[in-house]
Amino acid sequence: MDPTEREVACFEAGIKFGALYHQFAGTPVSPESAASLERAMEEAIENQPHCASVDVDVLAERLDTSHGYAELTGEYMEVRMRIEYADTVVHTEMRMEEGYPMMRVVDVVERP
């Protein structure tokens, strides 16, 4: 069965999350460089089709900097995105839940 518009919109939302996570996982990050990484992640993924906005928080206070910097993983970031596909808007977010970086569809609505 062909996907509905809402289902394609959710597929597109998932692509952006997988892309963001696996493009930037492993990046060296410190409290000093967190802001530039957040901005680059947001603007990079906003280039992708149907990606209306991306908001990344690198949790600088959680970074283990015993070696001067950490490598970015899901433990160190929270992300929200808005995907607009045709007349559908999808809100998604990622945060840690029980030790796993959980990506979720928050809601799927018709564009106002």
Site mask, its own copies, residues 55-94, x = CB under 8 A? Answer: -----------xxxx-x-x------------------x--
Reduced to 3 states, what is the DSSP secondary structure of residue 57?
Answer: strand
Sign of CA dihedral 65, 103, 2, 109: negative
Give the DSSP H or E segment for 91. strand 88-97
How far is 107 from 112, CA to CA, in rounded Å? 14
Find the shortest distance in angstroms from Cβ 85 to its own copies.
11
**Taking the complex as a whole, how short is the minimal distance between the CB of residue 80 and its own copies, in angstroms?**
14
Question: Does 96 engage in binding with its own copies (CB under 8 A)?
Answer: no
**Residues 6, 12, 16: CA angle, nearest 5 degrees:** 145
Binding residues for substrate: 12, 103
Binding stretches for its own copies (CB under 8 A): 1-4, 6-8, 10-30, 32-33, 36-37, 39-49, 66-69, 71, 73, 92, 99-100, 103, 105, 107-109
